[in-house]
Amino acid sequence: MKRDPLQATDAKRRQSETHTIKGERMLHRVGGLLGSVGRIIRSCHERYDGSGYPDGLAGEQIPLVARIVACCDAFNAMTTDRPYRAALLHADAVGELQRNRGTQFDPRVVDALMVTLERRESAGVPLAAASA
């Protein structure tokens, strides 16, 4: 009997989507400040429109810090080289955030990140200096 490749892909996707839950559990076991970070870790792949995982949270249901982390992490991922692709230009990454404003990302968080990036640029602070 042949295996349906779509079912295998769906199963792999569902399995990979458990990493946020596992991260939350690990941090909860550590306790203290790291224990409280677990909810943020769990919610970092939620999408503003509710189509994310693991809980399908939407909008204000997603902790604000998780919405901020998701947007900043996406920008960083787009603007840094990866083994599978070169970094996007700053303007292309900004465009991608804008296109996903209100669906993947909280519009207010995107707006705040844009203001921050504009301020850095007008102050002559290179983007790479943010990680230094």
pLDDT in tens, 47-84: 999 999 999 999 999 999 999 999 999 999 999 999 99
- Interval 119-129 mean pLDDT: 77
pLDDT value of position 124: 83
Q: Quick check: helix, strand or coil at residue 100?
A: coil
84 Cβ neighbours under 8 A, 6+ residues apart: none
Rounded to an integer, what distance in angstroms lies between the CA atom of residue 53 and that of residue 92? 26
Q: Are 66 and 52 in contact (CB under 8 A)?
A: no
Q: Is residue 24 within 8 Å of 38, Cβ to Cβ? A: yes
Q: How far is CA 21 from the centre of its chain?
A: 15
DSSP state of 82: B
Q: Among all chains, which residue has been given the structure tokens 């399995």?
A: 15
Neighbours of 35 (CB within 10 A): 14
Say what percent of the chain tops pLDDT 90.
Answer: 64
15 or 63, which is more confident: 63
pLDDT given for residue 54 in this prediction = 95
Domain boundaries, the chain: 64-132
Encode pLDDT of 93-104 as tens digits: 999 999 999 999
Task: Check residues 57 and 121 and name the one with the higher pLDDT.
Answer: 57
